[in-house]
Amino acid sequence: MTGATTSSELRQHNLLRVLRAVHDGEARITRSELTRDLELARGTAAVLVGDLVNARLIREEPAPEPQRTRGRPTAVPGPHPDGPLAIAVDLREDAWTIAAAELGGRLTVLEDRPHDENPAADVLAELAAAVRRHRADLAPRTVGVAVAAPGPVREGRLLDIPHLDWRDVDAVAALDGALLDNDATVAGLAEARRGALRDASLGLHLHIEFDLGGTLVVAGNPLPGARGTSGEFGHMPLTGTDVACACGATGCWGVEVGGNALLRAAGLPVHDHARALQVLKENKAAVDEVAAPLGVGISALVNALDPGVVTLSGMGPGILDMSMDEVQKTYLPGLMTFRREQPPAIIPSALGTKATLIGAAERVFDAFLTPEGLTTWHNRANTTV
């Protein structure tokens, strides 16, 4: 069922199917494969691709390898050099990164700089100004902005970052209406679209930076929760600690896992991201101290949520690389007996440090690859699609 009731609506529906297939396939799928996978007639596929090329949404390049089937050589539809761009922002407690992503997902980092952390209004005003500069530089190609933020995002706009004492900040208003989401949520979305959760029907993703958050990914999409704040696993009392957390709760798992926990284990001041990364690479004793409660918490979540696989991004891959043995020592004993027979694997993100940027860009393209997005592009570019 397409929902299309007219020939024009059906054509637009098929144009979007082709665009989505190009994007999801990372601009590596040939026109012949698209025709087959979307169950289109060859002539129909040729017309649709031609329309998208004329609209400066895609262009075709020769296939990188010789064709093994009989018939005319095929080509690979990919991003047009004048085509749509998503601006993705990874806002961290002490810095931000701004990148542009083209159709197919390829990222180009535009800016990476520290910020002064407080007050929230000043930080967000500076970030908004930086985004406006990049939008102006890339105009008219930009089709949206999404920001990944290191704290709960309520109702799509209200941001809390407990470590910085940011409370009820209307970040969407401050950021000129940008899409806003939690960093762990979009990292999980990226992993489901382009990483290690791509084939998982149900996966658990954890994102570790100064604090710890995550998301449960079901059939390729993070579960949002009633107010959009699900996945705050770092604020669950999973390890028995009685330490107060900046979020207002006591006993949070994230107090014992993450960048600040690494710094405390090394006897260093907290809230220093660069130093936390140094500890992660050089101080196995400190990493082991964080790895043990990480394994405990993961076992509790696996018992409760029954994921097929667990993925870690942010500092998570570094913890696994340095101290997987310590994670396993507490993870396996914490599992219910029947789960130990085939325990869900704990694996690093396939996307590295770019997971949050990739996920933020996906949010923009999800909004763009719609009838409304296509119409807006047509009106802006004065093309026929």
pLDDT tens for the chain, residues 1 to 385: 466 678 888 999 999 999 999 999 999 999 999 999 999 999 999 999 999 999 999 999 998 765 455 555 689 999 999 999 999 999 999 999 999 999 999 999 999 999 988 899 999 999 999 999 999 999 999 999 999 999 999 999 999 998 899 999 999 999 999 999 999 999 999 999 999 999 999 999 999 998 899 999 999 999 988 888 999 999 999 999 999 999 999 999 999 999 999 999 999 998 888 999 999 999 999 999 999 999 999 999 999 999 999 999 999 999 999 999 999 999 999 999 999 999 999 999 999 889 999 999 999 999 999 999 999 998 876 654 5
Report the C-alpha gap between 111 and 113 in whole angstroms. Answer: 6
Report the C-alpha gap between 125 and 198 in whole angstroms. Answer: 36
pTM equals 0.93
User: What pLDDT is stored for residue 8 in this prediction?
Assistant: 87
* Cα-based distances in Å from 31 to 39, 54, 60: 12, 16, 9
Beta strands in 66-178 (DSSP E): 75-79, 85-91, 95-102, 107-114, 142-149, 153-154, 158-161, 166-170
User: What pLDDT is stored for residue 379 in this prediction?
Assistant: 86
User: What pLDDT is stored for residue 163 in this prediction?
Assistant: 84
* Strand-pair category, 142-149 with 179-182: parallel
Alpha-carbon 125 to chain mean position? 24
Q: Which domains does the chain have, with CATH numbers?
A: 7-79 (1.10.10.10), 85-185+356-381 (3.30.420.40), 197-350 (3.30.420.40)
